[in-house]
Amino acid sequence: MSNATSSQAIEDLAADIGKNIYIDVAKWHLYLADAHLHTLLAERFMPMLTAGSVSEAQVSEVLADIPVKLGGGRLELPLAELLPMQCQVSLIDILEEHQRDL
């Protein structure tokens, strides 16, 4: 995959993640595009997609490794703790869809 194609694939994946996956805070939905986390996730997942393997365990591991600062940095939680289970399932669906398109 060329660098331009790779960049476009990351941008497309980031856009889908950003508009469909959210953090749930007191029943408020903060979409990952608004939280500026969508591109980071796309960059972390793209190597898995190009390698041809995306598992629930891998997705959980990536989400657990991304710290999210709350309260001006006074508290930090893994992204995995802030996403509802349905969003994690939707994220896996998005990743599988993009993997088929590669």
Q: How far is CA 70 from CA 18, 25, 41, 67, 76, in A?
A: 19, 11, 18, 10, 6
Chain centre distance of CA 36: 11
- Residue 32 is part of which domain span? 3-101
What pLDDT digit, counting tens, does each position of 27-71 carry? 999 999 999 999 999 999 999 999 988 899 999 999 999 999 999
CA distance 48 to 102: 12
Domains held by the chain: number:
1
What pLDDT digit, counting tens, does each position of 1-28 carry? 556 658 999 999 999 999 999 999 999 9
pTM: 0.91
For residue 31, what are the β-bridge partners?
Answer: 22
